[in-house]
């Protein structure tokens, strides 16, 4: 990768404050969302024995539950998914509008969305795939711990994403299955995220292949705690992620995965590692409707960009099932 100029690094840092940094997302953590279409049921401060309580917003499409059973899409960074932008908030993904439109046009099977709010100031620690972290040397871990954004420590505690996934799979998912009219099979249960949430999406599928039949990873943040892949930085995270994928990914026969990234702001860093992942997946039998990887020229690292292309990964994971 070509050496980044100082202005390029500065742009990435500024965009990190808006789209990737933990405090920006944390500001919205307790604010209830209002759907533009369909309705939302909030599971406030959902308790867990594994992690701190999380707010969970469950979006139900128009007409629910007349088309039961519904597929389920679990989405990370769940506090910015639904409705229109309000004062003081980041732009919404408008996931409710996109999902409802896809279903009404027959481009997606009936599904609900479970939006899980992030861990605020511990977002990086919660979303960094834990087993790749544990494969690093002590010196590499200390290097990643040292990353800061101004006076803010990006990774405040050691990654605990395995505990977070236990919360999702052992506590939240059974509650969703019990309370809502859903199809509980893996081929109707999917996970999606962007940036660090993109890392967590593929990690969730790899760790729990018998639960998640597919994952969509938008603008996957391959640099880990770094805000850019500066050529001067020896970042161990991408190699650790690729190595884990090569040794722990499930077979393509019963799973599907979607990746994408833009070419502006933080997304400009993601191409080389994404290409390594794509090459390995294709060589391992991921093809056709099992794998999709896209590049969106000029797209930046932001909720606005993800909202603009959200119909593509949703349609990929939730394509109508043959009758």
Q: What is the pLDDT of residues 84-129, one digit of tens each?
A: 766 456 789 999 999 999 999 999 999 999 999 999 989 999 999 9
The pLDDT of residue 14 is 33
Alpha helices, DSSP H, located in the chain:
6-15, 22-26, 95-104, 123-127, 130-134, 138-145, 161-166, 173-179, 196-207, 237-248, 271-283, 303-309, 311-317
Q: How far apart are CA 206 and CA 183, in angstroms?
A: 20
Residue 268 lies in a domain: yes
Is there a domain that residue 21 lies in? no
Q: Is residue 252 part of a domain?
A: yes
Number of domains the chain contains: 1
Q: What percentage of the chain has pLDDT greater than the value 70?
A: 86
The reply to whether 2 falls in a domain is no
Residue 43 lies in a domain: yes
Does the pLDDT at position 181 exceed 90? Answer: yes
CA distance 115 to 95: 10
Task: Compute the distance between CA of residue 40 and CA of residue 32 in angstroms, rounded to an integer.
Answer: 9
The CATH number of the domain holding residue 242 is: 3.40.50.1820
Q: What is the pLDDT of residue 21?
A: 38
Distances in whole angstroms, Cα of residue 32 to Cα of each of 98, 115, 180: 19, 12, 20
Read off the pLDDT of each residue in 26-49 and give the average, rounded to a whole number.
83
For the CA atoms of 132, 256, 221, 33, the dihedral, rounded to the nearest 10 degrees, stands at -120
Mean pLDDT over the full length of the chain? 88
Tell me the per-residue pLDDT of 281-319, one tens digit each, with 9 for 90 and over. 999 999 999 999 999 999 999 999 999 999 999 999 999
In this prediction, residue 126 carries a pLDDT of: 96
Structural domain for 260, as ranges: 30-317
Averaged pLDDT, 236-240: 94
- Please tell me the predicted confidence (pLDDT) of residue 93: 95
Which residues on adjacent β-strands are paired with residue 228?
A: none
Q: What is the pLDDT of residue 32?
A: 73
Strand 152-153, strand 189-194: pairing: unpaired
Distance CA 279, CA 212 (A): 23
Residue 232 β-bridge partners = none
16 in a structural domain: no
Secondary structure letter of residue 182 according to DSSP = B
Asked if residues 83 and 123 have their Cβ atoms less than 8 Å apart, the reply is: no
Count of other CB atoms within 10 angstroms of residue 163: 14
Tell me, what's the pLDDT at 5?
A: 34
The pLDDT assigned to 9 comes to: 35
- Euclidean distance between CA atoms 100 and 307, whole angstroms: 14
Out of 192-206, 215-229, 304-318, pick the least confident: 215-229
17 occurs within a structural domain: no
DSSP category for residue 65: T
Over residues 188-209, mean pLDDT: 98
**Residue 149 confidence class, pLDDT cut points 50, 70, 90:** confident
H or E, element range at 46: strand 39-46
In a domain, 47, yes or no: yes
């Amino acid at each position: 990768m070509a050496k980044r100029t100082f202005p390029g690094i500065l742009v990435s840092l500024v965009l990190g404050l808006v789209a990737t940094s933990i405090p920006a997302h944390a500001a919205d953590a307790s604010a209830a969302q209002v759907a533009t279409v369909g309705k939302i049921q909030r599971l406030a401060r959902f308790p867990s024995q594994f992690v701190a309580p999380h707010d969970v917003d469950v979006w139900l499409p128009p007409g629910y539950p007349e088309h039961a059973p519904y597929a389920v899409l679990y989405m990370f960074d769940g506090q910015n998914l639904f409705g229109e932008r309000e004062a003081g908030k980041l732009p919404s993904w408008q996931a409710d509008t996109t999902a409802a439109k896809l279903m009404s046009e027959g481009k997606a099977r009936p599904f609900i969305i479970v939006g899980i709010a992030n861990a605020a100031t511990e977002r990086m620690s919660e979303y960094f795939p834990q087993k790749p972290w544990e494969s690093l040397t002590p010196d590499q871990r200390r290097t990643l711990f040292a990353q800061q954004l101004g006076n803010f420590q990006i990774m405040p505690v050691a990654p605990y994403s395995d505990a977070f996934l236990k919360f999702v799979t052992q506590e939240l998912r059974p509650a969703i299955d019990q309370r809502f009219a859903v199809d509980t099979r893996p081929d109707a249960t999917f996970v999606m995220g962007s940036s660090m949430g993109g890392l967590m999406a593929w990690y969730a599928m790899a760790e729990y292949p018998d639960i998640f039949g597919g994952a969509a990873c938008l603008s996957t943040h391959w640099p880990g705690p770094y805000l850019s892949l500066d050529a001067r930085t020896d970042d161990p995270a991408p190699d650790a992620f690729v190595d884990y994928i090569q040794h722990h990914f499930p077979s393509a026969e019963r799973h599907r995965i979607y990746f994408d990234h833009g070419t502006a702001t933080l997304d400009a860093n993601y191409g080389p590692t994404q290409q390594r992942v794509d090459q390995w997946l294709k060589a391992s039998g991921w093809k056709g409707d099992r794998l999709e990887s896209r590049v969106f020229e000029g797209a930046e690292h932001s909720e606005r960009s993800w909202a603009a292309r959200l119909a593509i990964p949703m349609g990929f994971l939730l394509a109508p099932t043959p009758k």
